[in-house]
Structure 1
Amino acid sequence: MDMSEQTQQTGQQEVNAPLSQLAQACGVATEYKGQQGEIHVIADRVVAKVLTALGIDVEADDAEGIAAHLQRLTQERQEALCSPTVLQELGVPTALTLNCQPGALAASLTLEDGSDGSGELLLRAGEEGQTLLELGSGIPMGYHRLDLQAGERQQRATLITAPQRIPLPEAVKEHARWGWMTQLYSVRSHGSWGVGDFADLAQLLAAAGSKSGADFMLINPIHAGEPQAPLQPSPYFPASRTFLNPLYIRPQSIAAYKELGESERMQADQLFAQAAEQNSDPNRLDRDLAWTCKKQALWLIFQQARPSLRVDSAFAQFVRAGGQELESFALWCLAYQHWGQPQERADSWFRSESPHSARVQALKASDQEGFEFYLWLQWVANQQLEEAQRSGKAAGMVLGLMEDMAVGVNPLGEDVWSHPERYARGASVGAPPDAFNQQGQNWLQPPLDPLDLERTGYKAYRQLVGGMFAHSGAIRIDHALGLFRLWWIPAGSPASEGTYVTYNYKAMLSVLAIEATRAGGIVVGEDLGVVPDFAAQALADRGVLGTIIEWFEQKDGVFKNPAGYRKYALAAVTTHDLPPTAGYLQYEHVHIRERLGLLAQSAQEFEAAAQDEHRAMLQFLVAGGWLDPAVAGDERGHTQEIVEAMHRAVLSAPSLLKMAALVDGVGESRSQNQPGTIDEYPNWRVPLADEKGRVVYAEEVFDLPRVQALAQVMREGI
């Protein structure tokens, strides 16, 4: 049959019916609704490329191949006794329909702790000859193994038994709580190595709790980066989301530092002096210099500590608990150190080797000391992060640290090297064109394969979330819509030529519910932008807080009354993708985009729109009684009053969490990040400075009158 005879007409575009059916079976969208409600139909060639990235190699015009793939998928699903991942609400009996005849099945359940839970299983016949497996209400929360056998057919599935929703901590139930947001790397102390570190974080958390009354602090992602320079500046483009970035280790806080011999101590101190020269520079951070110096000092300290590590039960336990995942990470670091920066080429070690290959294992045997060094760095990083969280809680913080989870990882990073099967090949994640970026966005990160997640019981996601909750009271999920769907862009295509791929959000929300409940923590989802109604409701139903940014809460030039904000949300004036509020009020976002040629309209039109928004904000603040009309009529010299008024407005919202940015406290105006750029703007390399461009140190920041004034506004509004 001719392909033209197998199409449906939709608007002015033709949709290949068999291809659409195959795409639907794989969770690949053939159309989507845009910001204004308009329907965009995805070109067949784009759909076919995305299916290929999912491991289903098809051509848009290959009718026979499409039919064969569809038949194979249908047959596989019919032959499976059940889905590879099964979900159950904790305490609620669940009937699972199985693909076999009644009486032909044997089933057993092994609980997460290794005990037998088969007593909670009951087989019975359903309607129309179905076989039902009853999962009892007594199955505990966790990740369990379900084994099924029907004749010669066998299947092992993961049962995820999760709470219906994440319980709020009692202190948050009492009343709303507030906290600070900051970029950790940007806040240096006099003891820093040019970049803010975990010792600085401990100091910041303690001071934020004791001196400002804050209950949490959100920081940038601290996922692992490259083991040697050059380092990727963006914390949202990590090498691994499973491990910590040793860049944030404070060498002097390690016990073995104090035991260094005179010569080694002198070397370490010289390295510190070289890196610490950056601390007073308000212009640009140099991660490469900081890490190059710090790594050499850490090696000296490791040499001092290594003999005792052989008998240190705590270190041995850490390595055992890390298992193969930790070993693979250390091997990736070792290979990177010896064989150089990974490349996409087929002959690169990144593509030709694996953690289990003979060459990598030979490298480990030849440099056992280097291998142990990278294990030790993770141990030290975990200890120092744990100490930082303890400092915050000891200072009275309810939640303490709020960690930020990046959307994805570097395609040449450790996560992809160790587990290539977990990621789609030939596609990257981004966003479709919208008013914020009319060309769309390509974040250059490979998407997690939803089919692999389902096959493996969401093991990769469980490791990620559990690891982050080990040292924090809350997690923020960047681009939380990725729990539901991600915009996949085929390799070599512009960001506009992609489509959405759906994920089993119920499974991922179940993982979040289990890990947050175990930690007694909170999950905040960054759900800005176009959010389908069902997604917003699903997050709320599971107790995941959404995100509200005051600048974005407007329609047709009118700002929304904060009294109408969502209760289950974290509300703030700004976010890291906007300039600090002082900068935004001074049109920093206009100047940057104009200077870098990022505007899709004339500079005059964009600036006029920004001025209209500015006036609308002032009118909104005056009308709500948060800003003196005299200040609104004479902004010069009154930026701080306007910033505080914007926070008072947010504090009138019913939202459970409120947040102030440390950059707004000190009066900083420079952006930390300009979306759509890499090196055109010094993204993620701007140190914390005040309104006069002077460096603000961690030791003093919470004593500054301006910071104290904003803290008072926040305390009084809670």
Structure 2
Amino acid sequence: MNQSVIDRLLEIRGIESEYVDAWGKPAHIDPASKVKLLAAMGYPVDDENALMDKLEQERQQVWWRALDPVQVNRADEPLLFTVRLPIELVNDNYLLRLNCEQGEVIEQNLVPSDGELINVGDVQDDEFQEYLLCFNSQLPIGYHQLSLLAEDEQVLAVMRWIVAPKACYSPPAIAAGDKVWGLSVQLYCLRSENNWGVGDFSDLCLLLEKAAGQGAHFIGLNPIHALYPANPGACSPYSPSSRRWLNIIYLDVTAIEGFAQPTIQSVCLQADFQQKLAQARASEYVDYPLVTELKLAVLAPLYTEFRDSDLASNTALAKRFKAFIQEGGESLRMFATYEALQAHFKAQGLPYWGWPVFPASYSEFHKPKVQAFAKKHAEQVLFYQFLQWQAARQLDKAHEVAASHAMCIGLYRDLAVGVSEGSAEIWGNQSLYATNASIGAPPDVLGPLGQNWGLPPMDPQQLYQQGYQPIIDLFAANMRSCGALRIDHVMALLRLWWVAKGDSAKQGGYVYYPVDDLLGILALESQRNKVMVIGEDLGTVPDAIRSKLADNGIYSYRVFFFEQAQDGGFFSPAHYPVQSMSTLTTHDMPTLTGYWHCLDLELGQRLGLYPCEELSQGLFHARHDNKQRILDSLHGHGSIDDTISAQVEQVGMSRALNHGMQVHMAKGSSALLSLQLEDWLEMEAPVNVPGTSEEYPNWRRKLSKPLEVLFRDPALTELGLKLTEARQKAAQHSPR
């Protein structure tokens, strides 16, 4: 194989050769791994002739396209663009027609050779030239379409032109210098007197109301993306089926119109149903299969009731449902078809966990047999669309509850970094994804062996060819019914750690993405939806991304336990960037009690997460030192009193220490402070252990107390008052 060709291709496709690891040391990517990533992108790297043919085909396709597929500019930038044409056509007159999103049409005459010649190429012995030109009119922010027309009005090429604002949105209160706090929770963890064994949207409404009463201004959620009703055991919120649609397990079935009807009640009041419901509620862990069974048993007749009454009579409610379907378009139709198809294959006793095991004629949404299935089973497809509509309505109600309690942010959603291998999202757009690779992370503090998340990555070249529409759809969908959006693993906008199928996480490599374009789109959707953006920038973080995030108005993510100076001391939260959200722990970390008592390290030992005893013991020694440094910092800043010893050997986790750490964070300079509800309950067990799948019951552990009991605790009411007071004082002393 011609190594120079491979090296050039690696450069073109943005596959990095070296990087700085999580400990600040230079690291190199194995050349064999880089070649495997090219193969995952579809390049025949084992056949030099086939590879050269593919590269030549790609080169020719660029020249044959007179305009780029898409271009992103900021509102204050010159509107420069390129035109590529055969040399005999570059002196001709053309018309540029720009159709603005707002409806305005702007036209400009053009002779390509009047611009700056920037490139020359040949295609099948014909010379092509590329010119850089300027569009002379100012464009409003939005999504526009530029067309290149010949003198006879024939359209020669079309380009999507995206004009984005300078930065993302900040709520007026935050922009004015207010500092707020909120609670983060995995929604499924919530216990309540009324839910069916899993937290639901009605629980979320109650949590918003109670937290607002304590002084909180937001509730942070795990990703609430759609999972798999036909395969409920696949419950990780970070391995969804679709990030555009919602997880219907969060539906409060009892809040849907028609629940009181006798036909529905007859289902719920059966002795077997009641026994299973009691079992689901009492379980220490969320029993996803049982909860899904119970909810679908009632949702199906609820849909029938709606169909026979509202749809049959075309009521106002039915019209709203039809409008929802119309707005959801092909994406909703595809997703609902996938749900119906999975359920059908499961009922037939056929493999159903995802499209990779479907019969070949059903392996993609646009195949004829899939369309025939959707037509034949239109009622089932409509049922799954109905469930999405109900979920959207209940989520929107929670958003309204936050607004009614004057929470300046309200709901704070989470966008997962990818979708699982068997997802509807990939099934509907397979050309976008490199299904022979997965994303993850190189070895870092959270995962000493590296991490492979089992999520096929988007191919950046395909994303570009599709005019960035998939990423636009993702941002827009996840900014509905909320005031803030967390971008999980925000470094993905710059680069992702790809791992070829069959390799270990350590054998991966970084692939770069068009970060400036993606940040522009994010800023546009943020301003359009009035949603602030928080970027989860933990792990192996290049310096370049942090400065870009800040410049684009994206709030950094600062975790107390990771904010250490070179001498090992912990930075005071007063030194965190104002444009950040601070927190003590995250869903991928131990609780405060678990951290302090080293329960996470003991668990890691039992699960075999540490490759050697030397590493394990080093982690225990480092934890002991860190706890002493934390005590030093807490005492030094007056966040705990002398009833708590200054010597770590004499200090176990207590409510006083727990609350002292939370108030310590509230004194900090970050605009936002997020606190885990688990730490309010002084829980020990983590919700997730990175690097595990079946070894630990990830994403299943419930909270230890129901919501109704939690907010009757006077100690937590007092904590809420202290947090609010500390945040207000921090705002008064913070530079504007």
Instruction: Give TM-score scaled by structure 1 length.
Output: 0.91
Cα 1:712–1:600 change in 2 (3 A) is: farther
1:283 deviates by 2.3
Q: How far 1:282 moved relative to its partner? A: 6.2
Equivalent in the alignment of 1:288: 289
Which amino acid in 2 is paired with 1:418? G
Match of 2:189 among 170, 186, 194: 186
> Does structure 1 conserve the Cα–Cα contact (< 8 Å) formed by 2:499 and 2:509?
yes
- The answer as to whether partners of 1:402 and 1:473 remain within 8 angstroms in 2 is yes
Using the aligned pairs only, state the percent identity: 32
1:642 to 651, 657, 661: 657
1:285-324 counterparts in 2 under 5 A?
A: 285-307=286-308, 308-310=310-312, 311=314, 312-324=318-330
1:528 counterpart SS class: coil
Greater Cα offset, 132-141 or 477-486: 132-141
3-state secondary structure, aligned to 2:453:
strand
Superposed, which structure 2 residues align to 1:136-535 within 5 Å? 138-149=138-149, 154-174=156-176, 175-209=178-212, 211-258=213-260, 260-261=261-262, 263-270=263-270, 273-278=274-279, 281=282, 283-307=284-308, 308-310=310-312, 311=314, 312-340=318-346, 341-342=351-352, 348-349=358-359, 352-535=362-545
Give 1:345 shift.
Answer: 8.6
| Counterpart residue number, 1:658 | 673
Unaligned runs of 5+ in 2: 119-129, 728-736
Partner of 1:576: 587
Q: Secondary structure at the match of 2:506?
A: coil
- SS state of the match for residue 523, structure 2? helix
Q: How far apart, CA to CA, are the structure 2 residues paired with 1:199 and 1:392?
A: 13
How far does residue 425 in structure 1 lie from its aligned partner after superposition?
2.4
Letter in 2 for 1:700: V
1:565 aligns with 2:580: no
1:107-156: per-residue Cα shift (whole Å, max 9, x none)? Answer: 22122245424369998833458744434563222112222257999322
Matching of residue 615 in structure 1 with residue 600 in structure 2: no
Instruction: Compute the displacement of 1:78 (Å).
Output: 4.2
1:190 CA drift (Å)? 1.2
The match for 1:26 among 5, 8, 13 is: 13
1:42 is aligned to 29
For the residues of structure 2 that align with 1:452 and 1:567, how far apart are their CA atoms? 37
Q: Residue 681 of structure 1: SS of its match in structure 2?
A: coil
SS of 1:539 mapped into structure 2: helix
Partner Cα separation in structure 1 for residue 710 and residue 473 of structure 2 = 35
The superposition leaves residues 204-241 of structure 1 with CA deviations (integer Å, 9 ceiling, x where unpaired) of 112111x2111111011110011224331211111111
Secondary structure of 2:617 counterpart? helix
Give 1:395 shift.
Answer: 1.3
Alignment CA distance shift 1:393-1:569 (3 Å): same
Quickly say closer, same or farther: Cα 1:201–1:683, change in 2 above 3 A: same
Q: Distance in 2 between matches of 1:608 and 1:132?
A: 60
After superposition, the Cα gap between the structure-2 partners of 1:80 and 1:571, relative to the gap in structure 1 and judged at 3 Å, is same
Q: Select between 313-322 and 433-442 the one with higher mean Cα deviation.
A: 433-442
C-alpha contact 1:86 1:159 (8 A) present in aligned 2? yes
Deviates further, 95-104 or 244-253: 95-104
The superposition leaves residues 259-318 of structure 1 with CA deviations (integer Å, 9 ceiling, x where unpaired) of x22x43121244763454246536211111111011111111111111212412111111
CA separation in 1, counterparts of 2:443 and 2:357?
36
After superposition, what is the alpha-carbon deviation per residue over 1:626-647, rounded to whole angstroms, capped at 9, x for unaligned? 1224403486576222222222
Q: Does 1:87 align with 2:81?
A: no
CA–CA separation in structure 2 for the residues paired with 1:269 and 1:473: 39
Give the letter for the 1:315 counterpart.
F
Residues in 2 aligned to 1:234 and 1:473: alpha-carbon distance in whole angstroms: 24
**Does the aligned pair in 1 maintain the 2:487–2:536 contact within 8 Å?**
yes
Amino acid at match of 1:147: S
Aligned length: 694
Residue 707 of structure 1, aligned match among 716, 719, 722: 716
Instruction: For 1:105 and 1:75, locate their aligned partners in 2 and report how far apart those are by CA, in whole Å.
Output: 23
Matches for 1:76-155 after TM superposition, within 5 Å: 76-100=61-85, 101=90, 103-118=92-107, 125-128=114-117, 131-135=131-135, 138-149=138-149, 154-155=156-157
Provide the secondary structure at the position in 1 that maps to 2:105.
coil
8 A contact 1:120–1:137 mirrored in 2: no
Residues 154 and 39 of structure 1, relative CA distance in 2, 3 Å threshold: farther
Instruction: Say if 2:438 and 2:453, in contact at 8 Å, map to a contact too.
Output: yes
Paired with 1:91 and 1:716, the residues of 2 have a C-alpha distance of 41
Q: Aligned in 2, Cα 1:269/1:236: closer, same or farther, shift over 3 Å?
A: farther
**Are the aligned partners of 2:95 and 2:110 in contact in 1 as well (CA < 8 Å)?**
no
The one-letter amino acid of 1:39's match is: P
1:55-111 CA distance string (max 9 Å, x none): 22213xx65555555444444434443432211212544222333435554322122
Distance in 2, matches of 1:303 and 1:345, equals: 28
Shift of 1:622: 1.2
Closer/same/farther in 2, CA of residues 102 and 627 from structure 1, 3 Å limit? farther
Match of 1:632 in 2: 645
CA distance in 1, matches of 2:326, 2:410: 28
Cα distance, 1:347–1:520 mapped onto 2, change above 3 Å = closer
CA contact (8 A) 1:223 1:241 kept: yes
1:32 positional shift = 2.5
Show the counterpart of 1:585.
596
Tell me how far apart the structure 1 counterparts of residues 336 and 535 of structure 2 sit (CA, whole Å). 31
Is contact 1:427–1:490 with CA below 8 Å preserved after alignment? Answer: yes
Instruction: Identify the range of structure 1 (621-630 vs 468-477) with the bigger mean alpha-carbon deviation.
Output: 621-630
Residue in 2 that maps onto 1:9: none
Deviates more, 1:28-37 or 1:155-164: 28-37
Shift of 1:404: 0.7
Counterpart secondary structure, 2:16? coil
CA distance in structure 1 between the aligned counterparts of 2:25 and 2:5, rounded to whole angstroms: 24
How far the C-alpha of 1:680 sits from its partner, in A, is 1.1
- The residue identity in structure 2 corresponding to 1:296 is A
CA pair 147-95 structure 1, distance change in 2 beyond 3 A: same
CA contact (8 A) 1:109 1:121 kept: no
1:703 Cα shift?
A: 2.6
Quick one: distance in 1 between partners of 2:11 and 2:93? 32
Shift of residue 418 of structure 1?
Answer: 1.2
**Structure 1: runs of 5+ lacking an equivalent:** 7-15, 690-695
Q: Give distance in 2, aligned partners of 1:338 and 1:388.
A: 33
The question of whether the paired residues in 1 share the 8 Å contact of 2:231 and 2:353 is answered with no
Query: What whole-Å deviation, never above 9, does each CA across 1:480-503 have from its counterpart, x for those lacking one?
Result: 001111111111111111111111
- Note the C-alpha offset of 1:529: 1.8
SS in 2 for 1:403: strand
In structure 2, the residue corresponding to 1:551 is in which secondary structure? helix
Partner of 1:12: none
Task: Give me the whole-angstrom Cα distance separating, in 2, the residues matched to 1:295 and 1:120.
Answer: 60
Amino acid at match of 2:608: G
Q: Retained in 2: the 8 A contact 1:403–1:474?
A: yes
Cα distance, 1:712 vs structure 2: 2.0
**Offset at residue 516 of structure 1 (A):** 1.0
